[in-house]
Amino acid sequence: MTFNRDFGTAFILLRLLEHLGCECMIVNNTNLTSIPVKLWNPDAVFYVTPKNTDKLARYYPNAKLFLFSAEGSVGYEISESKIASDADLLSKFSRIYLWGETPRLYLLNKYMETKSAKETIFKSIFKVVGNMRGDIVKYRKSKNISGKIKIGFIGSFWLINSIKKDLHLLKYLFDRRKDDYTWDESILQIKYLKVMLGIFDRLEKDKYEISLRPYPLERKNIYQNIDYIGDKGISIDESIDFSSWVAEQDIIIGNSISTTISLLAIAKTPFINLTLLCGGKFDIYEKILPSQLLTAIAKNSPSSFEDLFNTIANYDKQTFYDDDAERLLHELYDLKSGGSSILKVAVDIVNTLNENQSGSPLRSRLPFGIIRFMDYLNLKYRKFRNRDSIENDYSFFILGELLLRAKKEFDHVIENIIKDPENQKLLSSALRNVSSIR
């Protein structure tokens, strides 16, 4: 789950930091506190899961901490509020990056309620950079050369097609017979599958190109064994990042809403919501979505197949993101600001470290190449040791084994970020100030 959500952003950030002259490694929970990484003794740690803060501060006391919470928020209550309300916890951070102005103001109010709060301290730590995953959409979007309308379906079958080997749905439902959420979710997924198949049956192969993006917690290989998938010419997306897939679609269809709405807004991709067709109601979103977004989604939620196919046929004439929705999305995700969010973070990390260096930083006596080789062997060993339980599990990923796949998917994005004239100004100033940082 975390791999599919965060690896693309981490890889692009790594490459941009390397472009600025830094030494970088991507680590995960498997090797986060391993001997090779501890020997490396990094100057900075960038991470996306706030719960790892205490562990990182304990194992890397000399490193500056840079946090970007990957969950984001379409509402106002976000995970960083706990940090903003705890002076001791806040003191561990060099920078906390935020998605937009609305969450910044929310956190500022939380922070100012604490004892001895100073707005200057808040401003020195919290910085709005936008949706970093949005760069993959913004700098990848390509023209449709197939001649067909590309329709992407968002998979949501993490329960009826679970990645877990030992999850047998019938037994699972027996064991959770008193858990209403489990039953409701199972029923919803089956309804969504039925509606999706009904759409597939009516879409003409010579006019539409269908792509299905399985949910990260789904078992992907099961689709390859379904004759119907092959007969209909449906492609099962294998890209690492959801954003890469979004950037290639003309229309996106799904039955749920999350922070992915900001990615669709960046891509200007029409989104058709199937909540009503699946027998659901919008009251499930009322507590988590602002009214402007709820209104926009409701306008593009057909209640019949006839309405749905009329929307598909006229997708290029639909207005999903009206002025109110775009204004709100900018407040939440800083969508209208120019330049690359990931590059802003890379440059800010370098500048922050240069400003705060005092004397020679503590470094490993071993060359970086040896550290990376030790890390590679460590991950190889851990992956072999756990070989019987890691199917569809990226906890033991080894960058070398993913490098070709990652380069194919993200190199074009990185090149476009660097070539962007607006980003060139930021890069030029950063390259003048960069020193050897890890």
Higher-confidence position of 262 and 1? 262
Higher-confidence position of 25 and 365? 25
Percent of the chain whose predicted confidence (pLDDT) is above 70: 90
For residue 95, what are the β-bridge partners?
A: 66
| 8 Å CB contact between 296 and 325 | yes
Segment (H or E) for 97: strand 93-98
pLDDT of res. 436:
53
- Residue 188, CA distances (Å) to 10, 193, 280 in order: 33, 9, 8
Identity of the residue numbered 362: L
In a domain, 135, yes or no: no
Whether residue 234 is found in the same domain as residue 359: no
In a domain, 331, yes or no: no
pLDDT of res. 392:
56
Per-residue pLDDT band for 397 (boundaries 50, 70, 90) equals: confident
For residue 310, what are the β-bridge partners?
A: none
pLDDT of res. 30:
82
User: In the sheet that 126-128 helps form, which strands lie side by side, from edge to edge?
Assistant: 44-47, 64-68, 93-98, 126-128
Whether residue 207 is found in the same domain as residue 243: yes
- Using the predicted structure, report yes or no on whether residue 73 has a pLDDT greater than 80: no
- Classified as helix, coil or strand, 126 is strand
- Residue 239, CA distances (Å) to 8, 236, 275 in order: 10, 9, 26
Whether residue 162 is found in the same domain as residue 186: yes
pLDDT of res. 304:
94
- Using the predicted structure, report yes or no on whether residue 74 has a pLDDT greater than 60: no
Q: Which residues contact 73 (CB under 8 A, 6 or more apart)?
A: 99, 103, 259, 332
Whether residue 304 is found in the same domain as residue 188: yes
How far is 271 from 246, CA to CA, in rounded Å? Answer: 11
| 8 Å CB contact between 21 and 351 | no
In a domain, 394, yes or no: yes
Question: Going along 129-195, which residue ranges are E strands?
Answer: 149-154
What is the mean predicted confidence (pLDDT) over 206-213? 95
Q: At what angle do helices 291-299 and 323-333 cross, to 10 degrees?
A: 130
What digits encode the pLDDT tens for the residues 279-335?
A: 888 777 777 677 777 777 888 899 999 999 999 999 888 777 778 888 888 888 888
Whether residue 203 is found in the same domain as residue 347: no
What is the mean predicted confidence (pLDDT) over 134-161? 87
- Using the predicted structure, report yes or no on whether residue 435 has a pLDDT greater than 60: no
- Classified as helix, coil or strand, 100 is coil
Among 326, 348, 381, identify where a domain stops.
326
pLDDT of res. 226:
95
For residue 153, what are the β-bridge partners?
A: 212, 253
How far is 399 from 395, CA to CA, in rounded Å? Answer: 12
CA 203 centroid distance within chain: 30
Of 341, 336, 352, the C-alpha closest to 420 is 341
| 8 Å CB contact between 304 and 277 | yes
Specify the DSSP class assigned to residue 268: T
- Using the predicted structure, report yes or no on whether residue 356 has a pLDDT greater than 60: yes
Question: How many other CB atoms sit within 10 Å of the CB of residue 320?
Answer: 21
Whether residue 194 is found in the same domain as residue 68: no
DSSP H helices, 357-395, are 368-385
Per-residue pLDDT band for 154 (boundaries 50, 70, 90) equals: very high
In a domain, 239, yes or no: yes
Q: What's the structural domain count of the chain?
A: 2
pLDDT of res. 298:
82
Q: Average pLDDT, whole number, for the chain?
A: 87
What digits encode the pLDDT tens for the residues 27-46?
A: 988 888 899 999 999 999 99
- Cα R_g (the chain), whole angstroms: 23
- Using the predicted structure, report yes or no on whether residue 213 has a pLDDT greater than 70: yes
Range of the domain at 308: 141-326
Among 291, 326, 361, identify where a domain stops.
326
> How is residue 226 written in tokens?
């379904």
- Using the predicted structure, report yes or no on whether residue 216 has a pLDDT greater than 60: yes
Segment (H or E) for 78: none
pTM: 0.90
Whether residue 282 is found in the same domain as residue 157: yes
- Using the predicted structure, report yes or no on whether residue 59 has a pLDDT greater than 60: yes
Whether residue 117 is found in the same domain as residue 155: no
Whether residue 180 is found in the same domain as residue 310: yes
Of 418, 417, 424, 427, the C-alpha closest to 140 is 417
Percent of the chain whose predicted confidence (pLDDT) is above 90: 50
- Residue 416, CA distances (Å) to 14, 140, 422 in order: 16, 8, 11
Per-residue pLDDT band for 96 (boundaries 50, 70, 90) equals: very high
pLDDT of res. 229:
95
For residue 252, what are the β-bridge partners?
A: 152, 271
How far is 102 from 213, CA to CA, in rounded Å? Answer: 30
Residue showing tokens 């109601």: 281
Higher-confidence position of 433 and 9? 9
How far is 187 from 410, CA to CA, in rounded Å? Answer: 37
Per-residue pLDDT band for 357 (boundaries 50, 70, 90) equals: low
What digits encode the pLDDT tens for the residues 101-130?
A: 988 999 999 999 988 899 999 999 999 999
Whether residue 358 is found in the same domain as residue 314: no
Residue showing tokens 């940090």: 83
- Using the predicted structure, report yes or no on whether residue 437 has a pLDDT greater than 80: no
Whether residue 350 is found in the same domain as residue 278: no
- Using the predicted structure, report yes or no on whether residue 438 has a pLDDT greater than 70: no
Query: How many Cα neighbours within 13 Å face the side chain of 197?
Result: 10
> How is residue 105 written in tokens?
């103001």
How far is 316 from 402, CA to CA, in rounded Å? Answer: 36
